[in-house]
Structure formats: C-alpha cells, structure tokens
Amino acid sequence: MTRTPARVVIAGGGPVGLVAALALARQGLRSIVIEADGDVCEGSRATCISRRSLQVLERLGADAAFIAKGLGWTQGRTYLGTHEVFRLQMSQTEDDRFPPFINMGQNTAERLLVDACAQTGLVEIRWNSRVIAIRSSKSSVALDVESGGRRETLQAEWVIAADGARSAIREAMGLKLEGASFHSRYLIADIKMHCDWPTERKVWFDPHSNPGSTVIMHRQPDDIWRIDYQLRPEDDSERELQESRVRERVAAHLAMVGPPGNGR
C-alpha cells in the first residue's frame, strides 16, 4: 500500500529524530517518525544534557520542561582509589540562563520530547516500525516500512536518517559513518536511593569496588542514581549481566563510598 506523500520522514525516534521533528513542526512542516521500539528507550542511556543542547531546546520552545525536571550541576570529582585527585569546576554566572549540564536519563528526555511533538499536532510517531528499503529519485524518496507484519511504502520529499550508528538508511545508501570510536565495555545500573549527596559527576579510577578499572556515578531525578562500571577484559559479559552479580557490584561500590547523611 502506498500512502499520500509526506513532506519529511524521519527514521529513528531517539533524541535526534524527535528534535528534528519538533524543529520541522516549529516551521509548520509535518513529519512522520519511524521508530523500531514500541515506546521511548528503557533505562538512562545518555545521562547528561549540555547547556548548548538546552539552548537548542529553548529555540524550539521545549526548554521549560527539561529545566523543571533535570538536575543542574557545575562540578565533577575524580578519584584514584578513594583519594580525590582532581576537581572540575565549570563556569556558571548570573547571566547564564542554563547550567553547564543537567542530569536526566535519556528515557525521561525522550518522553518530554514525545510530549512536545504531540502538542504541535504536526508529528506522527509510528512505533514498532522499521525501514527495510529505500529508493530515491530526483523529486522524492520511497521507503518500504514494516510494522506488525504489514508492509507499506511511504513517499516523501525528504528523509532524515536519525537511526543511530548502525543506521539502516545509511547502509542502504552505501554511506559510511566517519569518526573515532572508543572500544570498552561498561555495565550501566540505575538504582533507587534517597541520599543527600550533591548533584555532581564522580569518577573513580582503580577503586576498591572495581580494581583495575573505573566507576562513574551520576545523580538523576526522582532519587535515581546511575552507576557505570567498566568491565575488565577477563570479565564474562553474561555473568556480569545477571541480577545477583549487578547487585553485588552495586553493593560493593556503595559500601566503599558510604551513603552520607540521611541516605537509605
């Protein structure tokens, strides 16, 4: 089945795709977002939003919800073992409308963007859908889309590929992603903990809780704390992903740093 031509189709309903849809809507342009997942992502994934990104959201009229929900911070601490070896202090003046960063999990950010897109009335998001083929001509692009076992062809004037590093659109068009990549393995755990620690970025190198490797800890809204710990080359990924092992790892780190004040 071939639908009526859409002005723009966006492959990928993550932060980039949703912001692109919102930006088009602010110019009065309708778009269709094709997203393989059934809803926004699970877990925190990306955990910080920079001042520059907040400025972009401000231009799109979506900054207020992010500022209301996110946790701003200006300071980062780096430890060797349990000894602080470096402290990063970022600039924040009275003239700055936004902090250098706010902490907010990607799942929360995506939900706010979905809500902002819905309010425009110009963005259609198709969940559980994926682009399986693309054909372009001088005047339009045809996309074969699969959803719930059904296939249809969408016609568009433009396509935005926002479907990630392993982009199906880019692969179909024979395009390569240029840039550098960092090869390492981290396990990310989101835990619920009421604690009076300040909002700041903390990084431990060679801590007792993860010797020979690193741990990163960020505070998130709603008493969520994100702990990223780097796996060593000899660590077995399947074992490390077991809930009992994750709990063991998290408990070891919290025992090392010790929740202060009214932590529980």
82-91 long-range contacts, CB within 8 A, separation 24+: 82/204, 82/207, 82/208, 82/256, 82/257, 88/201
pTM: 0.91
The pair of structure tokens assigned to 5 is: 């031509």
Residue 176: predicted pLDDT? 83
Which letter does DSSP use for residue 93 in this model? Answer: -
145 Cα distance to chain centroid: 24
Angstrom distance (rounded) from CA 224 to CA 238: 25
Q: Parallel, antiparallel, or unpaired for β 75-80 and 150-161?
A: unpaired
Q: How far apart are CA 56 and CA 59, in angstroms?
A: 5
Structure tokens at 168: 């199906």
Per-residue confidence (pLDDT) for residue 264, from 0 to 100: 42
Please give the domain boundaries of the chain with CATH numbers for all domains. Answer: 6-47+105-172 (3.50.50.60), 74-99+181-264 (3.30.9)
pLDDT of residue 253: 95
pLDDT at 168: 86
Q: How far apart are CA 33 and CA 24, in angstroms?
A: 12
Q: So what's the pLDDT on residue 260? A: 57
Enclosing H/E stretch for 251: helix 243-257
The predicted structure's pLDDT at residue 2: 47
Give the angle 198-204-206 at the CA atoms, nearest 5°: 160
Block means of pLDDT (10 residues each) for the chain, length 264 residues? Answer: 69 97 96 96 90 97 97 97 96 92 95 97 95 90 92 93 88 83 89 91 96 95 95 95 96 86 46
- Tell me the β-bridge partners of 220: 224
